[in-house]
A = this chain, B = another copy of it.
């Protein structure tokens, strides 16, 4: 296999990149200077070498603990639970959240053999139990899918007895969308969760 085929094969393993797109990318990388593929290669090596899971919350970090966990200005009484580490970034970019995070590493999927022991559930319960100052609120920000909902319901049952408030992200019409194109379940949720103006 030529090195070009090797690179296409590797690129085509990435989600959303088929064999044709992979070839286009290879040829783009070959058209310019050799500096671009080298820089990309270095960035990949660095990420592979240096990024790991935060010891406390499971977020990506280059250190023992992530920058959210070590930041003394974050509100340690609120923990936002997400399925995957990259969802931390989605919430951070809003600039509206000052609490901490906890990354489950997926959602419950009994048929695929993913139970609570396969997720970072024990460490979440441990954090809530042992937190200095206590945890007042746990925001369940699992995905709005069937599995995400089931995971949220399970976690709520585990956490509520520990005395923390448990909330989840509001369901409703995404900002900027035409009602016409929003599915019925979402509209129903938006109706049920309507707020007085």
Contact = CB atoms under 8 A, between A and B. Distances in A.
Given A37-B45, A44-B44, A24 B62 contact: no
Given A15-B24, A16-B21, A7 B43 contact: yes
Interface residues of A, number: 45
B41 A3 contact: no
A111 interface: no
Question: Copies of this chain, how many?
Answer: 2
A193 interface: no
A69 B62 CA distance: 49
Interface in A68-91: 84-86, 89
A60 interface: yes
Contacts of A34: 48-49
Interface of A: 2-4, 6-7, 9-11, 13-16, 21, 23-31, 34, 36-51, 60, 62, 84-86, 89
25 contacts: A3-B43, A3-B46, A3-B50, A4-B47, A4-B51, A4-B60, A7-B46, A9-B43, A10-B39, A10-B40, A10-B43, A11-B40, A13-B36, A14-B28, A16-B21, A16-B24, A26-B47, A30-B60, A30-B85, A30-B86, A37-B48, A40-B41, A41-B44, A41-B45, A44-B44
